[in-house]
Structure 1
Amino acid sequence: MISVPRWLLLLLGALFSTYHVLLGLTALDVPAGPWPSVVALVLYAVATVISLWPSQRVRMPDWMAAINLAVAITMPLAVTGQLDPAADNGYATWYVAATGTLMTITAARRQLVAAWLGVACLAAQTVIWAGFPALGTLGVVGSIVWVAIAHMLTVALAAAAREARRYAQAEREAAAWQAAQDAHLFEGRMRLAQTNRIAAPMLRRIADLDGVLTDAQRRECRMLEAAIRDEIRGRMLLNDAVRAEVKRARERGVIVTLLDEGGIDDLDEATRDRVLTRLAESISGSQADRIIARAASARSSVAVPEGASAETADPEDAEVELWLEILRD
């Protein structure tokens, strides 16, 4: 999106405002008395300076908008009180363009209500003082047009900024989604390689023996099948220490089930290593016939129910002899 430097906008506003002040100074001899015009010039200069003073906030504070509105109402009353509405006052009507400029600055700084009230008061005062034709001859219509343009630009720029933020958020979400997909793909390939590393030697041996296996080889196949099941269902509950202890437990005849339901996916590497080390120690020290390690919900601990007779077919019907929770934190 093309953007205009803020300093350039401030400079343009300052130049326009200075021009109106110079016009007012050159026309001080036109009013019946110069001092009301001098007061109006001072008020306008002060209001312009505080409105254009660089700040972090784009939106003008409410108190500043109220000051600008008060100045926009005061200037026409002060100046026209010393002018003849039927005469050609020339540059003595500088206050019209000055009010328009001040209200344009107010609108550009997102105080649209104050800006429209200011030009509305200017138009009403002009009609009361010099009639409807003066709206065109004095330039009041031009001031209203400038405020309208500032209003439209302010709304358009605000909408563009919202769209830019929305697209940036969508881009970040798309990048995060792509990163997650890449991570899942990498994890799948890694686990496929792990499964192939575990199963390939035994599969080749089965092929070489034409499927005729000894009892020891069949037990080894069942162990490998359980290890592959762990890689699929256990996911984040596995590291080298846990794999080793699970294998030893199964060699002792223990039924070991690992169920990872995403409970520790959000842990950092150090915390996860601590949890899995504790899990490996729990499996190593268990004397139960059945061990179930489960990481359930996103905020749960790692639960290790131990016990139940190996003869019980349904894990839900097993009697838990020991319940161990490994805290995440």
Structure 2
Amino acid sequence: MSGRVHTGLTVLGLVFTAYLAAAGLFWTSPVEQPPVFFAALVFYLAVTWLCVLWDAGRRPPGGEEILRRDRPLPLWAGALALIATVAVPSATWYAVGPAALTDSFATWTLGGVGALLTIVMVRRRPVIAWIGVIALAVTATAWIGVIKALTVGVVGAAVWVVTAQLLSALVDRAGVDQAELAAIQRRSSEWLATQEGRRRERRVRVQHALEVAGPVLTRTIEKEGRLDDTERQRARLAEGALRDELRGPRLLDESVRARLHEARSRGSIVTVLDEGGLDGASGDALDSIRADLANVLEGAESDRIYIRTSPHESVAVTVVGRSRSEEDPDGEEVVDLWREISHPLGEGPEGEEEGEGRRSRPPLA
């Protein structure tokens, strides 16, 4: 509820209840106990305005009005309303005397108390409001009889309370629908932002692929596939770079791409695989992991280099290099490079070597 609407309803409640109370001042016959009459009127206005103004200016830190359903009327205020429901009509009828019980300046209390109980209903105390309706009916019946009670105001008070309860339920439902719509809009905005990010990333990947493979493909078409050794080497490097872009884009930045190009230029066969271990990594964490990966690849001379993301909770990337022994070129490959790059926010393993965030193992024979 906006601040202006809330303020307007508050002013309307104050003015309307004051108008109902003012109706009791137009006496058409003498009042036997004027002090009692005025005391009942003042007590009515005090309790009613308390229910209207309670918590009226409270705002959350964000500055938005708190919905009334979040802040029901306190029980002590509801108890005062019930006391007023019985005390105000009884005191008024006692003050005017038996001869004026059904005059308009004596029965104003039925409409006034009906307005009070309507306010209690709006302030999220339906049980107290309906107890008040029953108490008002019993009190009016005891003073002026059933027929008079029904014709001069009890029915109207009950109708006001019923209407207030229905309107409150409709407002609550509208608030729930509005919250659901806002959540749907928020999810839609997030989905559109995600799709736009993916489209932008695809455009960047395609542009990079064209920059890498475009010249090689053009040269291949021009020479009808008859390439010399240098051109074949360039084609092999371009193919490897494209595979990296497809299989492990989150592991790549300009520094890592340069180290991979250098390793392939030295004759190494490099395989890069992103198998989902970096799904939850932030941008800063990826930058740190890429920097560590570039340091590991710098100067790596293994015949085969395997770079894989790791599903382990502390290890982000594993780098393994395998080579054949110089003494036995035809023998089996041995592991001559092993690095495990840890997540930046994870606990570093004991016995770290060669830089923070990496673990090394000795070559395996």
TM-score by length of 1: 0.85
CA distance in structure 2 between the partners assigned to 1:289 and 1:297 by the alignment: 26
**Equivalent position to 2:270, from 247, 256, 271:** 256
Decide whether aligned partners of structure 1 residues 108 and 297 sit closer, same or farther in structure 2, where only a CA change above 3 A counts: farther
Decide whether aligned partners of structure 1 residues 226 and 37 sit closer, same or farther in structure 2, where only a CA change above 3 A counts: same
- Paired residues of 2:117 and 2:132 also in contact (CA < 8 A): yes
Matched, 1:272 2:274: no
For residue 168 of structure 2, what is the aligned residue in structure 1?
154
For residue 181 of structure 2, what is the aligned residue in structure 1?
167
CA distance in structure 2 between the partners assigned to 1:310 and 1:81 by the alignment: 112
Unaligned 5+ segments in structure 2 are: 59-65, 326-332, 346-365
For residue 314 of structure 1, what is the aligned residue in structure 2?
none
Considering only aligned residues, what root-mean-square deviation do their CA atoms show, in Å? Answer: 3.1
What is the CA deviation profile of residues 1-38 of structure 1, one whole-angstrom value per residue up to 9, with x for unaligned ones?
99972221111111111123223344496554344433
What is the CA deviation profile of residues 119-177 of structure 1, one whole-angstrom value per residue up to 9, with x for unaligned ones?
12212322344333123322111111111111111111121122112112211211111
- Paired residues of 2:318 and 2:341 also in contact (CA < 8 A): yes
- Paired residues of 1:68 and 1:102 also in contact (CA < 8 A): yes
For residue 73 of structure 2, what is the aligned residue in structure 1?
61
TM-score by length of 2: 0.78
* Partner amino acid, structure 1, of 2:90: L
Decide whether aligned partners of structure 1 residues 310 and 189 sit closer, same or farther in structure 2, where only a CA change above 3 A counts: farther
CA distance in structure 2 between the partners assigned to 1:7 and 1:84 by the alignment: 41
* Partner amino acid, structure 2, of 1:72: T
What is the CA deviation profile of residues 251-278 of structure 1, one whole-angstrom value per residue up to 9, with x for unaligned ones?
2333322223454466554443332112
Q: Secondary structure at the match of 1:133?
A: helix
Deviation larger for 73-82 or 198-207: 73-82
Decide whether aligned partners of structure 1 residues 97 and 229 sit closer, same or farther in structure 2, where only a CA change above 3 A counts: same
- Paired residues of 1:289 and 1:307 also in contact (CA < 8 A): yes
For residue 49 of structure 2, what is the aligned residue in structure 1?
49
For residue 247 of structure 1, what is the aligned residue in structure 2?
261
**Equivalent position to 2:238, from 198, 203, 224:** 224
Q: Secondary structure at the match of 1:328?
A: coil
Q: Secondary structure at the match of 1:258?
A: strand
What is the CA deviation profile of residues 190-232 of structure 1, one whole-angstrom value per residue up to 9, with x for unaligned ones?
1111111111111122222222233443333222111101011
* Partner amino acid, structure 2, of 1:44: Y
* Partner amino acid, structure 1, of 2:257: R
CA distance in structure 2 between the partners assigned to 1:297 and 1:40 by the alignment: 76
Matched, 1:322 2:338: yes
In the TM superposition, what are the counterparts of 1:28-107 in structure 2 within 5 Å?
Answer: 32-53=32-53, 54-56=56-58, 57=66, 58=68, 59-63=71-75, 64-82=77-95, 83-84=97-98, 88-107=102-121
Deviation larger for 193-202 or 78-87: 78-87
- Paired residues of 2:102 and 2:144 also in contact (CA < 8 A): no
What is the CA deviation profile of residues 102-131 of structure 1, one whole-angstrom value per residue up to 9, with x for unaligned ones?
111112222222222211221232234433
- Paired residues of 1:294 and 1:303 also in contact (CA < 8 A): yes
In the TM superposition, what are the counterparts of 1:116-195 in structure 2 within 5 Å?
Answer: 116-195=130-209
- Paired residues of 1:293 and 1:302 also in contact (CA < 8 A): no
Deviation larger for 263-272 or 102-111: 263-272
* Partner amino acid, structure 2, of 1:75: V
Unaligned 5+ segments in structure 1 are: 312-316
- Paired residues of 2:73 and 2:120 also in contact (CA < 8 A): no
**How many residues in Structure 1 have an aligned counterpart in Structure 2?**
324
